[in-house]
Chain A
Amino acid sequence: MSTGNMDRRDFLRVLGISGAAATLAGCGHTSIESGVEEVMSYVQPQDFVVPGIGVFYSSTCTQCGSGCGIMGKVREGRVLKLEGNPESGISGGKICGLGQAGVQAHYNPDRLHTPMMNIEGGLVPISWERANQLLDEHFGTKSSLQGEQIAFLTGGVSGHQRVVLENFLESFGSTQHVCYDAISTATGRAASKTVLGAEQPLWNFSKARLILSFGSDFLGNGVSPVYMAREFAKFRKAPRGTLIQIEPRMTLTGGNADRWYPIKPGTEGILALGIAHDLLQHPEFSGKVPQEVLDLVKNYDRDAVSEVTGIGADAVRLIAAQLWNNTPSLVVAGPAVEGHAYGFSNAAAVQLLNVILGNRGNSLEGQSEHPFPQMTPTLGSYRALAELHKKMVSGNCQALLIHGTNPVFTSPTHLEFSEAMKKVPFKVALVTHIDETAGQCDLVLPLLSAMEDFGTHIAEYQPSGVELMLQQPLMEKLYPETKGFGDILLDVLKKRKPQEYAVFPDYYSYLKAAVLKAKPVFHSDEPDEHFWETALMNGVVKWEGKPTDLEAKMVPLEVPEPHGLTTDYPFYFVPSIRPDMRDGRHAYLPWLQESPETMTTVVWDSWVEIHPKTAAQMQIKEGDVLLLQSATGSIQAKAYIFPGIQPDTVSMPLGQGHTQMGRYASGVGANPYKILDPIFDAHTGELALHATRVAIRKTGENQKVVKDEGPTNLQNGQKLVATLSADQAKLAREI
């Protein structure tokens, strides 16, 4: 970049692409004629801008928490397309579909343009003057709010947004930054921390010869899907590694497995102990394993395990043998393992295999040390929301700010979160769209989109060292009344703590000062301006770090059997997480709605996956509208006959069933969060997402399932997708 960033913003404004410029003032007078805006001739454009040629600017994707570096193609003042940024060690120049759809979040026709205020039960547009008045009344210098009376509820936040947010709360003496994630992995992380010594260790696919995954969809929606996909591709080159996947419902990752096993939901820990039992028979272990571990696994012989899990005794032997013969291996656990009343023990039992197999120091290492602990991402949990809920109900919470999370949509019915919202006198949502939660707030503030705002981000998964990711505007803002998240908080802070914050005219200057202050940490002796411009140009500043040692240990565990099926509720219910919809926050993006869910190819809908055998027994055909009844509630969706599912299990994807969030999201499908039973992990208190049992009833109605696959989905003897045995391929000789 050859000029300062503010120059570029000015330039974009001059190009007149913003909403204001597109508006005609009437009677043939344009904003240009009336002198509100200027026109700059392309005959003498600024440096680096050529009409008709797109220029790429670096930024950071905010569609999920992976922190992928991206580049936006900007042309004539508009951002057109996103690509991966090769400078970023996480994305490495690649980008997923969810990331691509970031431009649709920005240009979405249902974006919020103005502040809104709840007047007599409905949201009505107000001016910023009025919004600021309200903010001042509640959060200004005369505010009487103190300590726990004010809380900030968010999704995952990192970087300087987190710093500003927590400084904002601190100015009230509050530490109530509540981070909620409806598809939280808190239980799995806690188990990993206990057994491996790290919540999220580094997975060195390059050093593993075999990956054994218990329900981890690391290619679809784990901690860093694009990075994992890149590493997995290398894992599949010579010498090709093997993936074995065990889960109740086939995920995208499961679809890539060399061998896929369906397991009864919640028995993964028992299977892991069965595999451990087999492994520990090897003489190499004699005398080296703590007695409590031997005691733990002794009852889990193949036959006993087979009966509980539904995985054949031969398969248990085979999996153990494969692990033994392919060291180092890597054993990972996902949502299907942790979503039970004893999810912690389940996940810990799976991690125990890593310890037994000696994967520590090989395929598993600790992430590098962190130079910026105050900017690490806050990771959400359900328990955090439940604790906030208690404070809301008891009347302790007087003011609640909400950003980046939609608990009214994603919290289970039994929490009655909507009711609790009514007990909080002042609720503010900072959003780009009115979702179900914002719809119940008193004040709704319109945010800049991720393509219009500045920010810094630090991802949870750092493959090498630590990368400080920079987010910068890729174009001038579309709506003049929208405002940056950091700017809104900074404006309050400037009033509350003028000595510290008055020097910053806006969040941009705060951010620049903050990043420059961190310059010594990066051992840089460049001049400030140069350091800042290089950082923005690259989109990332890298801090060198080394992987750390893990302190793994064998811990005694108790892994009970899951509560069984009853005649009232004869099916396990598995809510699946779509890589594009996640917890439902992306349902308003039309590209993603129209993108077929890979395993089923269904679009624009919710559906119930049911095994062909079970469907035949119950005489269910594709498209039959089924009523799913849990102890908590019921929902309806169409049947989809799906072979990749355990036959006592039915599954529904999360993310649909919105009543708000605009034309593309509302009225599509049904919301499975609302039938989840109140079952919690005994160790962490997290909501057990996979522990609900349901009954199925046919409603008698049949509707067409809109999907991409053909009616037979057969290859009819043609060589469409051919499969070769891995031992016959000559990968090392390939180009």
Chain B
Amino acid sequence: MSLSNLIQNWDSFRKRRPYEDQYKDAPYKWAMVIDLDSCIGCNACTVACYAENNLAVVGKERFGKGQAMHWIRIERYWGEGEALETEFPERGAQYLPMLCQQCEAAPCEPVCPVGATHHSPDGLNTQVYNRCVGSRYCSANCPYKVRYFNWWNYPERAWPNPLELQLNPDVTVRSKGVMEKCTFCMQRLRAGQDKAKTAGRLLADGEVLTACAQACPTSAITFGNLADKNSKVARMWKNQQVDLAKNAQDKSEEGVRGYRILEDLNTYPSIVYLERLRNFAA
């Protein structure tokens, strides 16, 4: 996207995609479901992400300045309205695993002056590190605050010898001045896709998982291919009555609990959350 695009086509861009059946003939469209009733807030996913994606440990001072690099984080809320007026959080805490929502109409994409953030054919919102010039417009425009900027040259600081031996060779170690974000573990996807392609087939459901989904002790995270109507993730989206191409869902059935965060901003996220449940009779 360029400046002219921004000025002329903003509205059409924001509403153009995803159009219905956009991924009908595509082999892959990666998506996720996170069940907030299963998530116990244990942080296994966040540490798994540090291990898989070479995330830098920034230390206390920089963390305090908002420079933490956690691509996935557990937000903890105490509720809203009435829940906050009680003396104690009687219904427990609210845990929210927050990561890049891989929006179909991502607000971060059109504002990049150099096209470093773009949409991949399999529906990922990607960041091209060697194009990024560090304008940080994308981060400013992200409503989920899941883009992380390298304020420092972490390779020199975050992995004192021999910690660097743990770095995943399949993932670029980012340097100062570039933006980074969750990739849905693209290195795993690409390796899996290549393997499947060599064998002349498509990836099977569950054959490749993101690091967070693989680690999650409660299996709260389901990851898969939305273009495959039989995949678990596609069946869950359908079962929960969430349509990728809508910005307001028709909820005809009672008790469905799937929703997308900040959907009314026309971001068309690729992650469906399932509402947390509480037995209010207890």
Q: B-contacting residues of A (Cβ < 8 Å)?
A: 17, 19, 52, 75-76, 78-84, 93-98, 100-101, 103-104, 107-109, 210, 219-220, 225-226, 229-230, 232-233, 236, 240, 242, 244-245, 250, 252-262, 318, 322, 478, 579-580, 590-596, 598-601, 603-605, 613, 643-644, 647, 663, 668, 704, 706, 708-709, 713-715, 717-731, 733-735
Contact = CB atoms under 8 A, between A and B. Distances in A.
Q: Give the interface centre of A232, A244, A257 by most chain B CB atoms within 10 Å.
A: A257
B42 A598 contact: yes
A260 B278 contact: no
Interface stretch (B114-122, B175-183, B210-218): B210-218
Interface string B258-282: 0101100000000001011111111
Contacts of B48: 95, 97, 100
Where chain B touches its partner, the secondary structure class is: loop
A74 to B, nearest CB: 12
Contacts of B214: 83-84, 93
Contact of A78 (B96, B165, B216, B262): B165
Nearest to A102: B51
Contact of B94 (A591, A723, A734): A723
Nearest to A210: B282
Interface stretch (B2-10, B20-28, B68-76, B128-136): B68-76
Contacts of A725: 277-280
B257 A719 contact: no
A260 B89 contact: yes
Interface pairs A-B: 9 shortest CB-CB? A97-B47, A255-B93, A233-B218, A604-B60, A730-B255, A229-B217, A706-B64, A721-B94, A258-B279
A717 B80 contact: yes
Interface residues of B, number: 81
A592 B44 CA distance: 10
A668 B59 CA distance: 11
Contacts of A254: 92-93
Contacts of A593: 57
10 contacts: A17-B165, A19-B162, A96-B42, A219-B40, A229-B217, A261-B90, A601-B74, A644-B89, A718-B262, A730-B256
A94 B217 contact: yes
B96 A720 contact: yes
Contacts of B37: 236, 240
A255 B74 contact: no
B100 interface: no
Contacts of A733: 239, 255
Where chain A touches its partner, the secondary structure class is: loop
Contacts of B41: 252, 255-256, 598
Nearest to A708: B73
Interface in B145-186: 160-163, 165-169
Contacts of B111: none
Contacts of A709: 75-76
Given A240-B279, A242-B282, A730 B87 contact: no
B276 A599 contact: no
Nearest to A646: B88
A303 to B, nearest CB: 21
B93 A103 contact: no
A100 B275 contact: no
Contacts of A242: 279, 282
Contacts of B79: 723
B202 interface: no
A100 B47 contact: yes
Contacts of A591: 47, 50-51, 57
A720 B59 contact: no
A464 to B, nearest CB: 18
B63 interface: yes
Given A80-B166, A104-B163, A258 B282 contact: yes
B38 interface: yes
Interface of B: 36-38, 40-44, 46-48, 50-52, 57-61, 63-64, 68, 70, 73-80, 84, 87-96, 160-163, 165-169, 211, 214-220, 232, 235-236, 239-240, 253-257, 259, 261-262, 273, 275-282
Contact of A722 (B44, B52, B90, B275): B275
A598 B281 CA distance: 26
Given A232-B40, A719-B261, 17 more contacts: A84-B215, A97-B47, A100-B215, A104-B166, A219-B40, A233-B38, A236-B37, A240-B277, A260-B91, A261-B88, A318-B282, A598-B93, A644-B89, A704-B64, A708-B75, A726-B278, A735-B239
Nearest to B163: A107
B276 A721 contact: yes
Contacts of B93: 250, 254-256, 598-599, 644
B236 A250 contact: no
Contacts of B64: 704, 706
B151 to A, nearest CB: 15
B126 to A, nearest CB: 22
Contacts of B95: 255, 598, 721
A108 B163 contact: yes
A230 B215 contact: no
A221 to B, nearest CB: 10
Given A236-B37, A722-B276, A75 B239 contact: no
Contacts of A718: 261-262
Contacts of A644: 88-89, 93
A579 B214 CA distance: 20
Contacts of A240: 37, 277, 279
Nearest to B88: A262
Contacts of A252: 40-42
Given A81-B51, A97-B47, A591-B47, A723 B276 contact: yes
Contacts of A210: 282
Contacts of B63: 594, 603-604, 706, 708
Nearest to A99: B44
Contacts of A256: 40-41, 92-93
A232 B211 CA distance: 21
A171 B95 CA distance: 53
A417 B26 CA distance: 67
Contacts of A478: 162, 165
Contacts of A715: 77, 80
Given A722-B276, A725-B280, A734-B239, A258 B217 contact: no
Nearest to A240: B277
Contacts of B78: 643, 713
Q: Give the interface centre of B162, B216, B253, B282 by most chain A CB atoms within 10 Å.
A: B282
Contacts of B58: 594
Contacts of A253: 40
Given A220-B42, A721-B96, A107 B281 contact: no
Contacts of B75: 708-709, 720-721
A599 B52 CA distance: 25
A258 B76 CA distance: 16
B276 A219 contact: no
A356 to B, nearest CB: 19
A232 B255 CA distance: 22
Contacts of B57: 590-591, 593-594
A97 to B, nearest CB: 3
